[in-house]
Each structure stands twice: as C-alpha cells, then as structure tokens.
Chains A and B, each alone.
Chain A
Amino acid sequence: MIAETRSKPAGRSPLQTAAPAKPLPGVEPGSVTLTVNGQAKTIQIAPWTTLLDALREYMNLTGTKKGCDHGQCGACTVLVDGKRINACLTLAVMHDDHAITTIEGLASPDGGLHPVQQAFIDHDAFQCGYCTPGQICSAVGMLHEGHAKNKADVREGMSGNICRCGAYPHIVDAVLEVINKAEKQP
C-alpha cells in the first residue's frame, strides 16, 4: 500500500466552504427560453443545468440520450443552428438565442420520417436504440457539413458516436444511401 501519498480523509478535492444558510448564488433558478424544434419554451433553471439535462429533465424531450455525460460517446448529439454538438458539455443558458433541433424535431409534423430516420430503419442501423437519436442527429449534421462523400468519409465523420451494439456497418450503409440519393437529385 502506498497510503503515505493518500490524503485522509480520502480523496476529496479542495474548495469546500461551509454551506451558507441562504441559497447559494447560482442555485436559484431563473427563466431561460429555449427554442427547440421550432417552439420557444421558457423553463426555470439555474446556470448549472446542461442543455442535455434541460431537454431531458425540464422539457420532457427524452429522445436525446445521456450515454456518458462527458462528451465521450455522442449519444446526446443535437443540432444547434444546424450544427451537431454534444448537449452534455454545454449549458442551457448559453443557447437562449439558438435554434435547437432534437431527434423529436426531425420528422415532419405529419409524421413523415426524415430520410436518415427512414434509412436507419431500412438498413437495421441500430439494435438497442439508445445511441440512435445521437447517430441520426450526427448524420444529419454531417450531411449539412457536406464533407462526407464516400464510405471512408462517413466512417470518420460518424466516429463521434459510439454504438456499443456494433451497428456501424449498417449505420454507414444507411448514411451512404442518403448521401447517394441526395447526389442524384438536381
């Protein structure tokens, strides 16, 4: 044992202050308006609420998944002003002036699926389904970016989304199909 390098009481980081009697600054919720899937909604949150938790716990939009909460899996991928980002590593308060799109907002209001959603079904590009909303949002973001042209590009471009079920070959097939269809259209 190398207890001599271990501080006791064990392993807590510094910066502990006695808890104040009144609420700490930052804990008190305030109004934040988020525009998600075209709809503006005001919620009461403190600054320490991530965009991911705001969606899931405060807006009941649980389609966006929490797979690691540290930007290491991509399950929380959403589109902010059309760009794919990890919702777990950003604060909700930072996005009051952005258009956020989640998996719930990809299908058209009449229920017609986004081509990427349909391709995922057609190619069986998922199993447990937990990484799927992130994969789909990521694919949609990648299509907007316009850099992915071939299989190798898609593999690299989709590498920010871990699928533990190992559906990668089918994910690549699904995304390539959408890319190829889009290219054929004028």
Chain B
Amino acid sequence: MNPFTYARPDSVDSALDELKAQPNARLIGGGTNLIDLMKENIEHPTRLVDVNRLPLGGISELPDGGLRLGATVTNAETAYNALVTARYPLLSETILAGASPQLRNMATNGGNLFQRTRCYYFYDTAMPCNKREPGSGCAAIGGYNRIHAILGTEGSENQPTACIATYPSDMAVALAALEAVVQVTGSNGERSIAFADFHRLPGNEPWRDNTLEPGEIVTSIDLPAKGFNQHHTYLKLRDRASYAFALVSVAVGLEMEGNSVTDARIALGGVAHKPWRKPEAEQLLIGREATPDNFRLVAENLLAGAKGYGHNTFKIDLAKRAIIRALGEAMRSKV
C-alpha cells in the first residue's frame, strides 16, 4: 500500500473539489474492495476521499413510486430495509447472498458498483493482465480460468479478446434485473445512467469497468416502481454454501397472470464483465406459459454465442441449468 492523504468532506461539492484537485484521488466508502486492492499494489490512490459524511444516506420513496437508495447506505441496511424487503425482495435476497455479514455492514451501495474483478491474474501483480497493466496481455486466456467470463468477451479481427474477467457483484445482478438507474453528479452537473449502461464490456479498454467519467460521484441508485415482489428469485451457484463468489448466478423477476408470463427480467452474474441481460430472450417468455420447455428456450437464447476458455466452459451449460431452475422457482415463489 502506497502512502496517501485522507479527507472527509461533508458536502458533495467539496468532495467533487477534492476529486478535481487530485486526479489520483479515489473515493472510499466501506473500503472493502479498495483497501484490499491497495494492499495488493493494484490500486495506488494518493488521496482518499471518505464519502461517509456526505449527505447521501437514507432510503426514500420517489414520486414515481420507486425507491431511492442512498449511495452511502450500507448493503446490510439496504437488504433489511422494510421498504426494500416489501417491494424489492429480489434485491434484498441478492444482497444477502453476497460476501459476509461483516462485509455487508461495511460495503456501501455506491461502492458495490465499483467492485473490481476477482480474476486471479488481475490480483497477482507478478502476472500479465490487460486490466491492471494495459498491454501486458491476458494470462487468464489459456490459463486457469474457471471463474472467468463466457459472454461478451469476443474480440474482433483487429482486436483479439483482451480480457475475460467477470464483474463479481451480486447486488448489481438484481439491480440489472430491476432496471435501476444510477444517479451521478460531477462538475458538469447531474446525470442519470441506466443500469445496463453503467458497467461495460472489456472491448479494447478492459481497464475501464464502467462508464463513469473522472470526477463524477454516484449519489444514489434509484429503483423503478416495478419490483417483481410476487415472483422473483436469486439463484447463486458457488463452490461453497456461503462467503464465495458466484460461478454463475441468476436474478429473475416475473409478472404473471395465471400460468402466463406478462413480464420477465433475467440477469446473469459471474458470466461477463457486467451483469448480463438480453431483453430479446426475456421477450420470448412474455405472453407465454411458464413451462420448462419455454424456460429452456429462453436459456438457450440467453447463452447463444457464449464462449468457453477451457476451465470455464462448463459454465455455459451450468448457466442454462441455473436459468431454468431460477425461472421455475420464481414462477412458484410468492412473498
């Protein structure tokens, strides 16, 4: 860990000023990933700006019937919040499937969006990694890549695949399914980023995990009114029962009339550089009966074009199985 100075502003404006003053400044919320990465010599901020005194706490109702999750609210507070458990049980369940109680007590909603990959090669500075050291190569390709991406990794003729890292957050998988909106503010004012646009695929800039501009701060995550609180599930497959990252995870929200699906959201975790959604696949369900055959069609469509890299190839089929199971559970689930 390199030396840095520390600031704890109490207004968003002064936090923005801090970021402006030092390009190598970083925000710290819970610190659960940033401190880890600093100890590993992967992140090297020279100034840390503590966001915990910013007026970005609280969970409040929005006029459109949605819910605003303050950026500095912890994952645990969010998961156990009465409004969240009643209206967005999928989010609550998903948060509680991630990390550990201690980490959820520390990690903030804003910070969760900035978790970096768990790729072994990214984490080991002795190894080449395009995400950590642009241009050094991707050691995961051809290496031990059991936990790596199967979707969204394709390169092009001029640009071979640069990175097969996955984005490890559980919470974000539910946020993707719920079509949350990320509210940010920067020196150019405020803007809203649709969740699908917040994280990005590696392309030829794998070091960029998201579309936030330098100097911007996430102020809240807004949930639209539709919460799928009748039919939902989060299925997480991992190598142990708890406190492990997903090999594959699926967040499902359904709306149903009788046995017929009227709306469907399916997001995958552990399979790509961002939570993976494919509205076209979801459309296949809408207006149809919730049957295993239809679920299979959706699963096949969602995984179409998936590519394995050896150790992780099993995840293509595993993801399909997980989708079918999760859809079945969501169909049956009732709050």
Contact = CB atoms under 8 A, between A and B. Distances in A.
Q: Which of B31, B41, B102, B137 has the most CB of A within 10 A?
A: B102
B31 A91 contact: yes
Nearest to B135: A7
B101 A157 contact: yes
Interface of B: 1-6, 8, 28, 30-32, 35-36, 39-42, 44, 46, 48, 50, 52, 76, 80, 99-103, 105-106, 124-128, 132-133, 136-137, 139, 142, 241-243
Contacts of B101: 84, 138, 141-142, 145, 157, 159-160
Contact of A90 (B2, B4, B30): B30
Residues of A contacting B: mostly: loop
B4 A48 contact: yes
A14 B133 contact: yes
Contact of B139 (A5, A13, A142, A162): A5
A90 B3 contact: no
A59 interface: no
Nearest to B125: A13
B50 A94 contact: yes
Contact of A156 (B48, B132, B242): B242
A50 B31 CA distance: 10
B102 A77 contact: yes
A133 interface: no
A147 B3 contact: no
Contacts, number: 121
Given A13-B133, A91-B35, A47 B6 contact: yes
Interface string A132-169: 00000010011001010000000011011110000000
B102 A86 contact: yes
Contacts of B124: 11
A74 B104 CA distance: 12
A48 B31 CA distance: 12
Given A7-B136, A71-B32, A86 B103 contact: yes
A48 B28 CA distance: 13
Interface in A1-48: 2, 5-7, 10-15, 24-27, 46-48
Given A74-B102, A93-B6, A12 B128 contact: no
A70 interface: yes
Pick from A84, A85, A94, A161 the residue with the most CB of B within 10 Å.
A85
Contact of B36 (A5, A7, A26, A89): A89
Contacts of A94: 8, 28, 31, 50, 52
B31 A25 contact: no
Nearest to B100: A160
B72 to A, nearest CB: 12
The 4 closest A-B pairs by CB, nearest first: A160-B100, A26-B3, A11-B126, A5-B137
Given A24-B3, A71-B32, A94-B52, A89 B106 contact: yes
